[in-house]
Amino acid sequence: MAIYNIFIMTVAILLQVYSRPTTAAHFVLVHGSGHGAWCWYKLAALLEQAGQNVTAIDLAYSGRNEIPLISVRTIDGYQEPLFTYLECLSPQDKVILVGHSYGGYAISSAMERFPAKLTGAVFVSAFMVGPNLTFNQLGASFNPGASFFNDSKYIGDPPRIVLFGPNYLATKLYQNSPPQDLKLANYSVRTTQFFYGELTNRQLLVTNERYGSVRRAYVIGGMDMAIPPDSQRLFIASNPPEIVREIPGADHMVMLSTPQEFCANLLEIAQVFTGSR
């Protein structure tokens, strides 16, 4: 009955959103650790069917990006493909950033660097720094340790270089997602790295004047086993966005486990950001 009610609610939201006259938004989708643009395939198709423009970015050594992991020494280097894309936008183009998981750091940095090019930013089951919530402070509140990564292969404790294992993917990231998407992840995830220390903290510092001028929303994955909902709510309480939504049945991979519900929420958020609602 609960699933049926969620389905009815989602259909109602979609009907409301699609029935309103809207100007197409441009969503720029930024993946999390180990993943790539490929993980957005369901959401990208739904947004395009709704008349929106979509770009999915591969960050360094991710997806089809050919930059070798060993050559990237800083989080800025990892995020550089997003920065390059935004730099190349024409002056009249403005986009909505959507950052998932570790991709929340990338869109936070982009908000600080390119506020004039952004209509808004949406964090989905994501890490979210702020003017009063630094990377080091956020890390102190969420530090699960190496054992959390289960059968993943990793170097360091806390892990710095990681290749997610099949059991970790199945139990922490994809437990509510279709088996086809889990299989896709097993074939597609790449070795990734996590950044720590004072240099990373400095590179992720943001200000009220720039980052704070960009409208923000946060979408909580209600059944996230990687970044638990309570941790996400702590990020939100420490750095409140304008809009907060929660998708009850979503695992960490919100865009794959609940794509219709996520799409409906993004379309409504975009209408708020663009003033069409």
Provide the CATH number for the domain around residue 102.
3.40.50.1820
Whether 9 shows a pLDDT value over 80: the answer reads: no
Contact call for residues 57 and 28 (beta carbons, < 8 A): yes
Q: Is residue 172 part of a domain?
A: no
pLDDT digits (tens, 9 = 90+) for 243-271: 999 999 999 999 999 999 999 999 999 99
Query: Which amino acid is present at 153?
Result: K
Say what the pLDDT of residue 10 is. 52
Six-digit token string for 207: 């200000």
The whole-angstrom separation of Cα 137 and Cα 132 is: 9
Let me know if 238 is a catalytic residue: no
pLDDT digits (tens, 9 = 90+) for 106-150: 999 999 999 999 999 999 999 999 999 999 999 888 877 788 999
Q: Is residue 21 part of a domain?
A: no
For residue 77, give its domain range. 2-13+26-140+197-274
- Catalytic residue among 31, 35, 100, 252, which? 252
Mean pLDDT, residues 54-78? 98
Contacts of 150 (CB under 8 A, 6+ apart): 165, 167, 168, 171, 172
Let me know if 252 is a catalytic residue: yes
Whether 52 shows a pLDDT value over 80: the answer reads: yes
Q: What are phi and psi of 153, to 5 degrees?
A: -95, 130
- In the chain, the number of structural domains is 1
Query: Which of the four pLDDT bands, split at 50, 70 and 90, describes residue 212?
Result: very high
Q: Is residue 127 part of a domain?
A: yes
pLDDT digits (tens, 9 = 90+) for 10-49: 554 444 444 444 579 999 999 999 999 999 999 999 999 9
pTM of the model: 0.91
Q: Is residue 178 part of a domain?
A: no
- Catalytic residue among 101, 108, 109, 177, which? 101
Contact call for residues 14 and 264 (beta carbons, < 8 A): yes
Q: Is residue 147 part of a domain?
A: no
Q: Is residue 79 part of a domain?
A: yes
- Catalytic residue among 58, 76, 181, 224, which? 224
Strand runs (DSSP E) across the chain, as ranges?
Answer: 26-30, 53-57, 95-100, 118-124, 153-155, 161-163, 192-193, 216-221, 243-247
Mean pLDDT, residues 161-186? 99
The whole-angstrom separation of Cα 201 and Cα 216 is: 21
